[in-house]
Amino acid sequence: MEDVLAGKVIAVNGPIVRAQGLGGIKMFDIAEVGADRLIGEVIRLAGEIAIIQVYEDNTGLKPGDEVISYGRPLSVLLGPGLIANIYDGIQRPLVGISEACGSYIRKGIKLSPLDTQKKWDFRPLVKAGGVAGEGTLLGEVRESPLVMHRVLVPPGVSGKLTKLAPAGAYTIEEEIFTVEAETGTYAGRLAAYWPVRRPRPNRNRKKPVVPLITGQRIIDTFFPIARGGTAAIPGGFGTGKTMTQHALAKWCNADIIVYIGCGERGNEMTDVLTDFPKLIDERNGRPLIERTVMIANTSNMPVPAREVSIYTGVTIAEYYRDMGYSVAVMADSTSRWAEALRELASRLGDMPAEEGFPPYLATRLAEFYERAGLVETLSGSDGDITIIGAVSPPGGDFSEPVTQHTSRFVRCFWALDKTLADARHYPSISWIESYTEYLADIEDWWKTLDARWFDIRNEAMNILLEDHRLEQVVKLVGSDALPPAQQYILLCAETIKNAFLQQNSFDPEDKFCSPEKQIRILSGLLLLYRRGLDLVQKGVGVKQIAALDAVSGLVRLKSEIPNRDLSGIDAHLQRLEEALAALAAAPTGG
Amino acid sequence: MTAEIEYTNLSGISGPLIFVDGVAGVGYGDIVEIRDKTDRLRIGQTLEIDQEKAVVQVFEGTSGLSVTDTRVTFVGRALEIPVDRDMLGRVFDGLGRPIDGAPQVVTDRVMNVNGLPINPWSREYPRDFIQTGISAIDGMNTLIRGQKLPIFSGSGMPHNRIAAQIARQARILTAEEEFTVIFAAMGVKFDVARFFIDSLEESGVLTHSAIFLSLADSPSIERLVTPRTALTLAEYLAFEEGMHVLVILTDMTNYCEALRELSSSRGEIPSRKGYPGYLYSDLASVYERAGRLKGGRGSITQVPILTMPSDDISHPVPDLTGYITEGQIVLERALFNKGIYPPIAGLPSLSRLMKDGIGEGRTRRDHGQVAAQLFASYAKVKRIRALAAIVGEEELSELDKIYLKFGTAFEEIFLRQDYEENRSIEQTLDIGWRMLSLLPKDELYRIGREEIQRYYMPEAENT
C-alpha cells in the first residue's frame, strides 16, 4: 500500500513551503521536497494546498520543484542501538553523517537511525503458540552493559503468537516474531517505527512516590522531584542552566537519560559527547554513555528540526519506559523550542498572542510535559519518565510567556538566581523562589532513611527563610545592630549556604552527594544551630563560635568526606560538640 | 539548467527590498544581480518566492533604483566569495570585494558565505588556554582557543582598545602556531576601523590579517553579509589551511539593527523591541561558526563586540548573544568612570569554557580555586559597599572593613593595568593571591587547605 503522492512546490518562504497537487495527504505526513528530497512535514492543509515545514536548509528550492509523499507520519525508529547514539532533531545519526559527509551537515542526506548491519543477540523468553497482547514480553537483547533491551509486542497488536525466532544473532531488519491478529498478520522485528507526535499508550497512570535522587543537595533535600515528575529550570544566561542539566544527567539515578540539546551551543553538546564516555557511574562502575541517548539540534541547525526534536526525544523516552525503566529527559532549552514555534507561526502568518508567540504555545507545552509520569505499562510493569526542561527567559525576566506557561504545567520550579551565579555559588538555585509540589509524595521514602528527615529539612529551610528576612534589615542597619541571637542565625544560614547548598560539580567527592551524606551534613549544621544558639543566649559571643576550627571545618566536609564512608562526619561533629561544650564551660564574654 | 533571463521591471520597492513579478525558475536564497539606469551593479538575494513573484533584498541598498529602468538577473546560486591565503594583508568591503586599490585575488576556490552547520559530533571540545595578558580575562574569564567570547560594552567605553590589546597580545603557551586576525566592521565609524588597522599595523600583524569593512556610510543591508563573508574566509583558513584565526566582529548591535530594518520592510511580526522573532537563530548562524574540528589543526576564536543601548544587558541584542556565546566580558560604567582600564566588570563577566582550559598542566593548579574565591569575595564586597552607603563605613564590622580594603585593591591592582602591559598567567595568579591574602584565611572557603598553605602570604610579605 505504498501509494506515492506527487505534487509541485508553488511558494517558498524560509523553511515553509507550499505545495499543490498532493490530494489525499494527511496532517503531519512526511513530504520529500525538491531534487534533494529534503525531509518535511505537512503542518497545515488549506484546500488544495499543503503547507510543509522543511527540516533541512532549503536554499535553492524553487516553484515547480517536485514534492512526493508516501502518506506516512513523521516517525522515529525504535530498537536496540539507540543507547550511546547521538541524533539530530529528526533522528538522523550524527556519527553516520560525519562519516558520510565530513564535518559539516550537507542537506538531503538520509541514513538509517539504527545500524542495520549489526547483529544483536536475541534471547526469547516465551514460546510461540501462546496469546500475545500489547506489551507482551517476548525476549531480550543486551543493548549495552547497563541496558537490557526488552522486546515487546508493540501497541495496537494482539492475537496469537505464531512464530518466535530462536535464540541467536539478528539484525534489526530480520523478522523475529509474527502475531496472527484479527486484522491481519503482524511481522515483528527488533526495531519498529512510531509517530513522534503521538504519545505511546499505557495501562494507567500512577502517583509518583519515589524521589529521583540527583545527588545535588539543594534539589534532593530542599526541592525534590519524584520519578515521573516534571520540573523547570528557568534562568537568564550565565546562571548555569546547562551546567545544572549536565549535573543531573550525569548523576541522577534514572536508568536511562535522554538528553535533548534543543537550539543550544555546539560546544556544549561536544562537552557532553566527550565527557560521558569517560565519566564513570559510581553505582555500577560503567561509563555514563551506556545509559544515555542524545538529541542535538544546535542553534545553527535548521529551526523546524528544533521544533520536532523534543518530540523525538520524549518518544524515545516512552519506548524505554514501556520496557519498565525509569527514564529522565533533559530538554535544554524549551525556550528555543518555543521560539522555533514562534518563528514558524510567524511565517505561516498566524495571529500572535503574547510577545509574538502563537496562541497555541500553552497547549503545546502542556502536551509535552504531560508525556511525563509514572505508569503501569502495557506489559504490567512500572515505568516512568521525568521531564526536566530548562527555560531561558529573555533578560532573565520570569514574567515572560514561556516561563509563565511552563510554571503552570510543572510541579517543580528550580529558579536560578543571577546574584548567586555572579558570586559563583553553584548550583545557583534560589531557595527563596523555587518550589516543589512533591514533598508530601516522597516524604515516606526519605523517612525510611531517617525518620527525622522532614523535620531536619524544614528546620534548615526556616533558618534560610529567617536569614532572608533578616538580610532585608541588615541591608539597612548592618549586622552588628542585630541582637546576638539574630546575628547567630545569619552565621548559621551562611554556613548552610557554603557547607550544604553550594556544590562543586567538578570536585570528585562533592559532585554527587548521597542521601545519607546529605542528612548527616545537614543534621550537623542543625547541631551547630541549636547548641550554638543556646550558648549565645547564655552570653557566649557569636564571633567566638564562628572562630572555632570545628565550625569553619564544616564547609569542607562535603569535599573531604567520601560517600562510601561517612564516619568522618561523625568524628567532626564530635569535635564540634566538644568545642562548643568547652566554650560553654569557659565563657570569656564577647 | 535555465538560461539566465533578465527581468526589466520591478513591481515595487520597499526599504532594502525589491519585488519582481512574473519570474520563473528562481530558487529560494538565489543571488540576484540588479543594474540601474547607469549600469551600476548591485547584489541581492531572494528571500521569498512563489509562482509569479520574488522578494529580493539588495545588499547595497535600493537608493537610486526605480521601478522602471532596473534590470534584474537571477544568477541561480547562493552568494559566494573567493577564498585564499593571499587575502591576508588586504582590505575588502562587506561582500568580499577589494577596496584597497589592488586587484581581486585570483583563485579557483569559492565558498558559499552562509556556510553549513558544523556537525556537533565533528567538533573538538576547545581546551587550549589563550593568554591575553589581561588579568581580568586570563585570571577570571579565561579565553579558550575556539571559543566565542563577546565584549558587552556601552557607548564611550574602551571596547576597541581591549579588543586591539587582545589581538596584539594573544598567544598560546603550549606551542607556536600560525596565528591570524580577521577584522569585520559593521556600521562603525571610519575612525574605529582606522584605529584597528593602525593598531594591527603597529603590532606587526596587519600583513597576516584580513579586514572587511562595511562602515556607517555603507547601506545597512550590507552589514548582514559582512560577518558571514569574514567567517567564510576564517573557516577556509582555519579548517583547510590549519591556521588559528581570531575573528573580531564589531559592532553586532549595528548588525542586529540592519536585520530589524529588513524584517520591518518585509512586514514581519516583531517580537521584543521590534526585532524579528528569529533574531536568536540568525545570531546563532553567525556565532556558531567558531570552534575546532576533530582531526583538524586550526581553530576559529570569535570576539564579537556589541554596545548595549543605555548599558542595558537585558536588551535583546546582548541578551540573545549571551545565550549563544560561551560567556561574555562585560564592561562596567562605574569602573570606567573611576578611570580603571580595562573596566571589566567583576561579577557579570563569565567564560563558560574556562573550567576545562585551566588548572594543572594548562595554567596552574590553583587557578580555578583562585578565580572562584575572587568572584565570591568580590561579590561580598559589593554587598558590603551597598551597606556602607547606608550606614556609613565607620559602622561596619572589622571584617567588613577588611573586605572593603580587598575590594579597592582588587580593582586598583588586579583589574587595572596598562594598555601596553602584558601579564603572564603566573603574574596574574600571584597578584590574585596578594589580593586574597588581604583576607583572613578562614574567609577563603573556595580554596583547598593545600593551596592556602602554599600560596597564602602572611601580612608581612604582602605589601
Whether residue A277 lies within 8 A of chain B, CB to CB, comes out as no
Interchain CB distance below 8 Å, A343 and B29: no
Residue A285 neighbours by CB distance under 10 Å:
8
CA nearest B383 in A: which residue? A475
Contact across the interface for A62 and B380, Cβ inside 8 Å: no
To the nearest whole angstrom, how far is the Cα of A31 from the nearest Cα of chain B?
A: 18
Q: Is A117 exposed, middle or buried (0-12, 13-18, 19+ CB in 10 A)?
A: exposed
Q: Is A346 on the interface with B (CB under 8 A)?
A: yes
* Rg of chain B in Å (alpha carbons): 25
Do the Cβ atoms of A238 and B350 come within 8 Å? yes
Helix (H) or strand (E) holding A429: none
Determine contact: A299 vs chain B, CB below 8 A: yes
**Beta carbons of A270 and B124 less than 8 Å apart:** yes
Residue ranges of A 472-491 with Cβ closer than 8 A to chain B = 474-481
What pLDDT, on the 0 to 100 scale, is given for residue A347?
A: 80
Residues composing chain B: 463
Asked whether residue A81 is assigned to any structural domain, the reply reads no
- The pLDDT value recorded for residue A350 is 85
Do the bridges between strand B291-293 and strand B327-330 make them parallel or antiparallel, or are there none, so unpaired?
A: unpaired
| Helix axes of A453-477 and A484-496: crossing angle, nearest 10 degrees | 120
Q: Which residues pair with A33 in a beta bridge?
A: A38, A67
Determine contact, residues B270/B263, Cβ cutoff 8 Å.
yes
Q: Is residue B236 part of a domain?
A: yes
- What pLDDT is attached to residue B460? 55
* B402 touching A (Cβ < 8 Å): no
Q: Residue B71 corresponds to which cell in the numbers above?
A: 534590470
A342 touches chain B (CB under 8 A): yes
Q: Tell me which chain A residue has its CA closest to the CA of residue B320.
A: A394
Please count the structural domains in chain B: 3
Query: What is the pLDDT, as a whole number, of residue A589?
Result: 47
Return d(Cα A381, Cα A379) in angstroms, integer: 6
Query: By CA distance, what is B120's nearest residue in A?
Result: A266
Give the nearest chain A residue to B239 (CA atoms). A103
Give the model's pLDDT for residue B165.
93
Asked whether residue A92 is assigned to any structural domain, the reply reads no
Task: Give every CB contact of residue B432 below 8 A, 6+ residues apart in sequence.
Answer: B135, B139, B370, B371, B374, B414
Task: Please tell me whether residues B165 and B247 are part of one structural domain.
Answer: yes
To test the contact with chain B by mutation, choose from A52, A56, A66, A300 the residue with the greatest count of B C-beta atoms within 10 A, namely A300
The tally of domains found in chain A comes to: 4
Range of the domain at B400: 367-461
**Residue A213 has what pLDDT?**
96
Same domain, A398 and A458: no
User: Strand, coil or helix: what is A18?
Assistant: strand
The answer to whether the CB atoms of A300 and B288 lie below 8 A apart is: yes
Kindly report the length of chain A: 590
Residues B102 and B22 in one domain: no
* Grid cell in block for residue B360: 594543572
DSSP string, A512-561: S--HHHHHHHHHHHHHHHHHHHHHHHTT--HHHHHT-HHHHGGGGHHHHS
Q: Which of A237, A269, A303 sits opposite B120 (nearest CB)?
A: A269
Q: How far apart are CA B150 and CA A430, in angstroms?
A: 27
Q: How far is A70 from chain B (nearest CA, A)?
A: 25
A10 touches chain B (CB under 8 A): yes
Instruction: Tell me which chain B residues have a C-beta less than 8 angstroms from the C-beta of A478.
Output: 387, 391, 395-397, 400
- Are A394 and A435 contained in the same domain? yes
Among residues B334, B357, B380, which one ends one of the domains?
Answer: B357
**Residues A254, A321 within the same domain:** yes
State chain A's maximal CA–CA distance in angstroms: 94
Q: What is the helix (H) or strand (E) element at residue A366, kind and residue range?
A: helix A361-369
Helix or strand run (H / E) with residue A94: helix A94-101
Which chain B residue is nearest to residue A13, measuring alpha carbons? B48
User: Which residue among A75, A104, A130 closes a domain?
Assistant: A75
Could you tell me if B27 and B171 lie in one domain?
no
**CB nearest to A59's CB, from B29, B350, B448:** B29
Contacts of B236 in chain A (CB under 8 A): none
Q: Which helix (H) or strand (E) holds A309?
A: helix A303-321
**Are A170 and A216 found together in one domain?**
no
Which amino acid, one-letter code, is at B263? S
Facing B397 at nearest CB: one of A58, A480, A506 = A480
Residues of A in contact with B316 (CB under 8 A): 394
Residues of B in contact with A64 (CB under 8 A): 24-25
Cβ–Cβ < 8 Å for B326, B352:
yes
Which of A60, A267, A479 is facing B126, going by the closest CB pair? A267
Q: Report if residue B67 sits inside a domain.
A: yes
Residues 410-469 in A contacting B (C-alpha not used; CB under 8 Å):
419, 422-425
The pTM of this model reads 0.91
* pLDDT, tens digit (0-9, with 9 covering 90-100), for B335-393: 999 999 999 998 899 999 998 899 998 999 999 999 999 999 999 999 899 888 888 88
Both B295 and B384 in one domain: the answer is no
The C-alpha atoms of residue B2 and residue B247 are separated, in whole angstroms, by 39
Residue B362 located in a structural domain: no
Asked whether residue A283 falls in the same domain as residue A426, the answer is yes
For cell 564512608, the residue is A565
Same domain, yes or no: A378 and A316: yes
- For residues A388 and A239, membership in a common domain is answered with yes
Q: Are residues B118 and B19 in the same domain?
A: no
Residues 308-347 of chain B with CB under 8 A from chain A are: 313-316, 319-320, 322-324, 326-328, 347
Last residue of a domain, one of B357, B391, B416: B357
The reply to whether residue B117 touches residue A274, judged by beta carbons under 8 angstroms, is no
Q: Give, for A187, the enclosing helix (H) or strand (E).
A: strand A184-189
Please list the ranges in chain A whose pLDDT falls under 50: 1, 589-590
Across-strand partners of B292?
A: B124, B299
A340/A412 same-domain check: yes
Q: Are residues A571 and A486 in the same domain?
A: yes
For chain A, say whether B389 makes contact (Cβ under 8 Å).
no
CB atoms within 10 A of CB B340: 17
Residue B205 falls within a domain, yes or no?
Answer: yes
- Output the CA torsion B99→B100→B101→B105 (10° steps): -80
- B217, exposed or middle or buried, with CB in 10 Å at 0-12, 13-18, 19+? exposed
Same domain, B64 and B49: yes
Helix, strand or coil, per DSSP, at residue A567: helix
Most B CBs within 10 A among A62, A342, A361, hence the mutation to make, goes to: A62
Question: Residues B366, B447: contact at Cβ < 8 Å?
Answer: yes
- CATH label of the domain that carries residue B152: 3.40.50.12240
Please tell me whether residues B65 and B111 are part of one structural domain.
no
Three-state secondary structure call for residue A378: coil
Out of A263, A394, A424, closest to residue B375 by CB: A424
Min Cα distance A342 → chain B (Å) is: 7
Q: Which residue has the cell 562535603?
A: A558
Residue A196 lies in a domain: no
- How close A188 gets to chain B, by Cα (Å)? 32
Residues (pLDDT < 50) of chain B are 1-2
Of B78, B125, B446, the CB nearest to A274: B125
Joined together, the cell numbers standing for residue A351 give 495571529
Give chain A positions within 8 Å (CB) of B439: none
Domain boundary among B310, B333, B357: B357
CATH number (domain holding residue A121): 2.40.50.100
A563 touching chain B per CB within 8 A:
no
**d(C-alpha A334, C-alpha A365), whole Å:** 9
Of B117, B147, B442, the CB nearest to A300: B117
Strands A168-170 and A159-164: unpaired
Q: Give me the domain span that covers residue A133.
A: 117-188
Q: Which residue of B has its CA nearest to A356?
A: B271
Three-class HEC string of chain B: CCCCCEECCEEEEECCEEEEECCCCCCCCCEEEEECCCCCEEEEEEEEEECCEEEEEECCCCCCCCCCCCEEEECCCCCEEECCHHHCCCEEECCCCECCCCCCCCCCCEEECCCCCECHHHEECCCCEEECCCHHHHHHCCEECCCECCEEECCCCCHHHHHHHHHHHCEECCCCCCEEEEEEEECCCHHHHHHHHHHHHHCCCHHHEEEEEECCCCCHHHHHCHHHHHHHHHHHHHHHCCCEEEEEEECHHHHHHHHHHHHHHCCCCECHHHCECCHHHHHHHHHCCCEEECCCCCEEEEEEEEECHHHCCCCHHHHHHHHHCCEEEEECHHHHHCCCCCCECCCCCEECCHHHHCCCCCCCCCHHHHHHHHHHHHHHHHHHHHHHHHHCHHHCCHHHHHHHHHHHHHHHHHHCCCCCCCCCHHHHHHHHHHHHCCCCHHHCCCCCHHHHHHHCCCHHHCC
Fill in the amino acid letter for A532.
G
Taking an 8 Å cut-off on Cβ atoms, the answer to whether B285 and A10 are in contact is: no
Would the CB atoms of B376 and A425 count as touching at under 8 Å?
A: yes
Instruction: Please give the sequence-ordered ranges of beta strands (E in DSSP) within A426-480, or none if there are none.
Output: 435-436
Q: Do B28 and A392 touch (CB under 8 A)?
A: no
CB contacts under 8 A, A 185-224 vs B, are none
B45: CATH: 2.40.30.20
Three-state DSSP at A233 gives: strand
pLDDT of residue A587: 54
Residue A12, domain CATH: 2.40.30.20
A211: in domain? yes
Residue at A194 is within a domain: no
A35 reaches B (C-beta below 8 A):
no
CA distance B435 to chain A (A): 17
Q: Is residue A109 part of a domain?
A: no
B91 and B73 assigned to the same domain: no
Q: Shortest CB distance from B122 goes to which of A98, A478, A559?
A: A98
Same domain, residue pair A296 and A395: yes
In degrees and rounded to multiples of 5, residue B218 shows phi and psi of -80, 160
Same domain? A554 vs A580? yes
Using CA of residue A87, residue B147, residue B281, residue B218, what is the dihedral sign? negative
Say if A291 is an interface residue toward chain B (CB within 8 Å).
Answer: no
H-assigned helices in A102-240: 217
> Does B130 reside within a domain?
yes
Does B276 lie in the same domain as B223?
A: yes
Long-range contact set of residues B62-66: C-beta below 8 Å, sequence gap at least 24: B62/B13, B62/B15, B62/B16, B62/B17, B62/B18, B63/B219, B64/B36, B64/B40, B65/B10, B65/B13, B65/B18, B65/B34, B65/B36, B66/B36, B66/B37
Q: Do A63 and B51 touch (CB under 8 A)?
A: yes
Chains A and B form CB pairs within 8 A to the count of 226
Say if residue A226 is in the same domain as residue A289.
yes
Give CA–CA dist B272/A263, Å, rounded. Answer: 19
Residues 6+ apart with CB under 8 A from A482: A470, A473, A474, A490
Packed helices B279-287 and B252-265: angle between N→C axes, nearest 10 degrees = 140
Q: How would you write B319-338 as a 3-class SS string?
A: HHHHHHCCEEEEECHHHHHC
CB-based contact, A300 to chain B, within 8 Å: yes
**Considering only CA atoms, which of B287, B32, B275, B28 is closest in space to residue A56?**
B28
The C-alpha of A381 sits at a distance from chain B's nearest C-alpha, in angstroms, of 36
Distance CA A293, CA A319 (A): 12
- Does B174 lie in the same domain as B268? yes
